[in-house]
Structure 1
Amino acid sequence: MKKDVLLYTGGEDFAEIINGGGYFVDKTAYMKELLITDAIKNSLFIRPRRFGKTLNLDMIRQFCRINYQNPGDKSYQQKLFVDNGRKLAVAGEYYKEFREKIMGEFPVISISFKTVEGTCFQQAVSQLIYKVGLLYDEFLFLIESSKQDLDDIEKYKKNKSFCKDKQDELDNPQNLNRAISILGTAIPQIASMLYKEYGRKVIVIIDEYDVPLQKAMIAEEPYYNKMLNIIRTLSGNIFKKDNEPWLYKGIVSGCLRIAHQSVFTDANNFTTFGMNDEPYTGFFGFTKEETHKLLNDCGLSDKESEVKEWYDGYRFGNKHIYCPWSLISYCYAATQKDIYAPQPFWVNTSGNDLITIFTDSSMESHNAENIDKLQKLMEGENVDISLMEFTTYPDLRVGVSFDVFMTLMLHTGYVTFAEGSGTVDKVTVRIPNQEILYCFNKKRELLFGENNPYWYNQALKLVDLLMANKTDEAQALISSMLKEFLSIRNTGDELYYHGFMVGVIGIASAAKGISFHEEIESGDGFPDIVLKNDATDTVAVIEFKKGRNERLERIQCAEDAAKQILDKRYAEPYLAEKYKNVFAIGIGFGGKDCYIQTLGNLAKSSI
């Protein structure tokens, strides 16, 4: 272990890492083809969150950015990329011509939508206006230039003033409309003025373009379509085919290539680089070789197998990729805090709202097949899917196919291609590592708690049915729950079903003020569950048995369970206490079904 390795957890500022002596995994070699090739005008990089997109885009920004006060002075980049003693790839002789043509040669406009969200549309627009206001501040020197038209300078001043003074006053419809208009034109306005000022084309970088769309869908007051119109207008005005000649390159990052929405319809030569598109499969994330070197440099080589189990597993093209956020966080904890146990670093910083929405919608639509496939993944199995273009975020709320959802999960880093799988059309996916499995398991735990309204309401309904001895309806409901929510493939004994029923009934009975007893001594033994409600003078004595996954076997088990209630006199104490309703209920389980046999109201039969 080496404590002198300086690790920037979550570091996104290239200059801060280099100048501060921080550890840096060299990705500079990827810039040449991206910035030189004429065929690639605009690029969209699709990668999961926390895979180094922001840092790499900042690296590009700092490499290309012109010295606005002294054009032609490249000393900043020379020190940052070449004369830093790190022997970065771009500092080599092979890249000399590339450095002469690109390094320090372009005005660069860079904006990130990573933190843009709001409980309502106005709040989200306010966040965007704040970010655009920072751009107006960055290039404020333009309004002092004699090269600029007076009308452009006046408009610049007005827009800057609005971003500063009206950012928090968007409840006013007039201000809101003005803000939306500025968002669509601010970057083209600034870019045009930069082009006029320096006579050089502009590079535009947009990081995490799709975050505002996702946040708009999960907000308390969803505003997806309104936000989509803003992003579509903004991208169209920046990357449109017939724009002014100021654009050199556009570079955009995000998690998803959203189809059927025309976000980039008007873009000129827009090329999407997904996880499997060469030559950029290793541009984001850490390769196996880079990870090996990092662990060795940190004195953690002996932890490589454990690190692989937790943070490897992503397959980008033919490369095995590790999650950089998790890996750096792990190495930092190990070298600085002597904490060697892997932790779920990535999933604790990445919103899991999409999983929640999909599972909830699958539950509410009684889509047992979706839940079953999710369970297969959580048990380490591979699942076959057909890759489908993601359509719109709101579709998740009304229901999308498992294939569409898994395509989304593939892009967002929750599943990856299985070994031997193709990467187009029909593919096989799996959960990549222990960290993501931890996330899914935590999500599964939430499905069975009172924080999940649908599950909770089903549990409340089941208790009502059992306490009313409505066994046909209770049987149907329990079987539905088993099919939709639980994996029965690995159930070996009665205890699995016992735990399931105790969990369901225990939560709901407490909420209803019904006494719940598990294996309490009664008669000559210990019934599985006893529910007692003094207010309605009702007791339900419930016994479980498990059989094979066959109908007749379940029926026999239910009958045997009911008979056991009689034979071992489980109901006798409640009959002696003169409860008016004492129901004896036997439940036979097998596979993902059950059968209920009731003996009726024993209190009446004993009169």
Structure 2
Amino acid sequence: MHKAMPIGVEDFCELRKGYYFVDKTRFIRQLLDEHSKVTLLTRPRRFGKTLTMSMLDWFFSIDKADKSRELFVGLDIERAGASYMGACGQYPVVFLTFKDTNGLSWEMMQGLFSSYISMLFLRYTYLLDSPRVQDPLKKRFQQIVEMEADEARLSAALALLMEMLRQHYGRQVILLIDEYDAPVQQAWENGFYRECIAFLKQLLGSALKSNDNLAFAVLTGVLRVAKESIFSDLNNLDVCSVLSTRYDDVIGFTSEEVTEMAHDLGREDRLPEIRRWYDGYHFGEVEIYNPWSVINFFRNDRFGDYWVNTSGNGILRALLEKADAQRIEALQTLLDGDTIQVTLNERVIYEDIGRDKSALYTILLLTGYLTTTTSVATRRNRYALRIPNKEIRDIYVTEILNHPLLILLSAVRILMDPLFFVWPERCKMRTEFCVLLELRVYV
């Protein structure tokens, strides 16, 4: 058994040939049994979305058929039977990710999209030699490869590629788009949100809406990015968020999977601490561990804040800048280890931050900084939220306790406590507050 931990490994083929592997191929069987025309899976960053999409690409892609079957030998999907394995290598697949299309201006981002889509098309240059593909489509294909297409042609690029693949193979196309909302967050943070939304609406709409060339599509992201903004008029969209029970165990590690890992790697004695540090997420009806942090622990054999150090946590800071006193007080309640009852709105968009009262908690939930105690609302859209584990609590201590409003509220709370100077332990967060406020307590 391979015991090397797949840190940063996002290609399914590479993973299968040299690293410890947690079998998630039951997701393939679920898709074959019950897939919607378009499925959107929203999960926090670094939870394995890209690897999941790579697994689908390697299984379904007709271009990989000569070497893909061996990758699934002995896995859940093979044990499901020949009828399921019969779909292996049978579809033309378009697999792309938007996570690297970052830019500080719309002009820069548009240039990155043009370059990335050009590189994507280079994988399919064999279509230019196909006698079954119409010549006018080949000319448009060549324009995109040479980065000479205008914005209108570029925004129709995916639909063009799918049409050419359908003509060449005579089969419908599977479309896989990873981190579809990454450019949206960048655009929002840098002031060109509307331009980015308009482009993505056309790019995705032309590929997903009323497209006879589409077999089915799977998209991943962190946020839903409301249907009204990108997925307008897309009636075949099935959103599977952290509140959904469909596919609730396919991304992230379940308790059973982590227990098996600990057994395989001889670290069963560390399970209670692993649970305290990295468990606690509630996706649908399943308890989920943060996979990135778990595999980092097993590689390094020590606990640490692995997940929180993989980004600048810019969205958390931006959200806190919009938080009022009531919400900062609620976050203090969470830090005290309690739950809060809030209304969630999964249709929230970035422009709602600051004016939608549910935006702060909804985005903190979807991005992994909070979790629910149950997938069932107490009443209409009301959920109990909590901080999932020690790792996430650490970042709250760093980011939230430094918020000026919380420092002020905390100072008032501390100094108004009549027992503060004679019994400092009365304040649960005394130590952190004293450091932040530079107070010196003498008993």
Normalising by structure 2, report the TM-score: 0.90
> Aligned partners of 1:133, 1:231: CA distance in 2, in Å?
16
1:563-595 deviations in whole A, cap 9, x for unaligned?
Answer: xxxxxxxxxxxxxxxxxxxxxxxxxxxxxxxxx
Alpha-carbon distance in 1 for matches of 2:305, 2:432: 27
Q: Which residue of 1 aligns with 2:100?
A: 115
State the match for 1:66 in structure 2: 62
Q: Contact 1:371–1:485 at 8 Å: present in 2 too?
A: no
Which residue of the other structure, out of 156, 163, 170, is the alignment partner of 1:199?
170
2:202 to 224, 229, 233: 233
Alignment equivalent of 2:218, drawn from 251, 264, 269: 251
2:370 & 2:68 partners in 1: Cα distance?
38
Give CA deviations for 1:213-262 in whole Å, capped at 9, x if unaligned.
Answer: 1111112xx10011011111111101112x3x211011111111222634
The alignment's C-alpha RMSD in Å is: 2.9
Q: State the SS of the aligned residue for 1:116.
A: coil
Q: Which residue of the partner structure matches residue 261 of structure 2?
A: 294
Deviation for aligned residue 1:194:
0.6
Deviation at 1:275, TM superposition (A): 2.1
Letter in 2 for 1:48: P
Match of 2:85 among 95, 99, 124: 99
The one-letter amino acid paired with 1:382 is T
Cα deviation 1:329-371 (Å, max 9, x = unaligned): 111112xxxxx2x111111114422221122223xxxx21111
> Which residue of structure 1 lines up, in the alignment, with residue 137 of structure 2?
152
Residues in 2 aligned to 1:485 and 1:257: alpha-carbon distance in whole angstroms: 38
- Which residue in the other structure is 1:48 paired with? 44
Q: CA deviation at 1:158?
A: 1.6
Change beyond 3 A, Cα 1:223–1:18 = same
**Paired position in structure 2 for 1:370:** 327
Q: State how far apart, in whole Å, the 1-side matches of 2:287 and 2:434 are.
A: 42
Q: Distance in 2 between matches of 1:501 and 1:17?
A: 47
Determine the C-alpha separation between the residues in 2 that align with 1:30 and 1:123: 36
2:364 aligned to 386, 409, 431, which one?
Answer: 409
Assess, with a 3 A threshold, how the Cα gap between structure 1 residues 265 and 498 changes in structure 2: closer, same or farther: closer
Structure 2 gaps, min length 5:
none
Relative to 1, partners in 2 of residues 1:194 and 1:499: Cα closer, same or farther, differing over 3 Å? closer
Which residue matches 2:420? 493
Q: Name the counterpart of 1:440.
A: 396
Q: TM-score when scaled to structure 1? A: 0.67
1:181 partnered with 2:167: no
Query: 1:369 & 1:23 partners in 2: Cα distance?
Result: 45
| Alignment length (residue pairs) | 435
How far the C-alpha of 1:34 sits from its partner, in A, is 1.0
Corresponding residue for residue 15 of structure 1: 13
Distance 2:288 2:55 in 1: 20
Is the radius of gyration larger for structure 1 or structure 2? Answer: 1
Contact 1:192 1:246 survives alignment (8 Å): yes
Q: Per the alignment, in what secondary structure is the counterpart of residue 183 of structure 2?
A: helix
Q: How do 1:265-414 and structure 2 match up within 5 A?
A: 265-334=232-301, 340=302, 342-362=303-323, 367-396=324-353, 398-401=354-357, 403-414=358-369
Q: Which residue of 1 aligns with 2:28?
A: 31
| CA deviation vs aligned residue, 1:127-154 (integer Å, no higher than 9, x gap) | 2222211211100111122222221112
Deviation per residue, 1:295-323 (Å, 9 max, x gap) = 11111111100000000000112211001
Change (3 A) 1:97 1:61: same
SS state at 2:385 partner:
strand
Structure 2 CA distance for aligned equivalents of residues 432 and 60 of structure 1:
29
With over 3 angstroms needed to count, the CA separation of the structure-2 counterparts of 1:142 and 1:75, relative to structure 1, is closer
Alpha-carbon shift at residue 48 of structure 1 (Å)? 1.1
CA 1:490–1:282 in 2, change beyond 3 Å: closer, same or farther? farther
Mapped to 2, the partners of 1:500 and 1:409 lie a distance apart of: 23
Residue number among 105, 112, 133 corresponding to 2:118 in the alignment: 133
Q: Whole-Å Cα distance in 2 between the matches of residues 298 and 125 of structure 1?
A: 46
Change in CA separation of 1:145 and 1:343 when aligned onto 2, cut-off 3 Å: same
Q: Where in structure 1 are there 5+ consecutive unaligned residues?
A: 69-73, 164-177, 335-339, 449-454, 456-479, 507-517, 520-527, 529-544, 546-607
Equivalent residues in 2 for 1:446-525, closer than 5 Å: 446-447=402-403, 482-483=408-409, 488=414, 492-494=419-421
- AA aligned to 1:60 is L
Partners of 2:77 and 2:415 in 1: how far apart?
54
Kept in 1: contact 2:282–2:375 (CA 8 A) = no
SS of the equivalent of 1:348 reads helix
Aligned residue for 1:203, secondary structure, equals strand
Which residue number corresponds to residue 210 of structure 1? 181
The letter for the 2-side match of 1:250 is A
Does the Cα contact within 8 Å between 1:377 and 1:430 map onto a contact in 2? yes
3-state SS in 2 of match to 1:439: helix
Contact 1:421 1:428 (8 Å CA) reproduced: no
Q: Check whether the contact 1:205–1:250 (CA below 8 A) recurs between aligned residues.
A: yes
- The CA deviation at 1:399 is 4.1
**Counterpart residue identity of residue 482, structure 1:** L
CA contact (8 A) 1:81 1:88 kept: yes
Shift of 1:389: 3.1
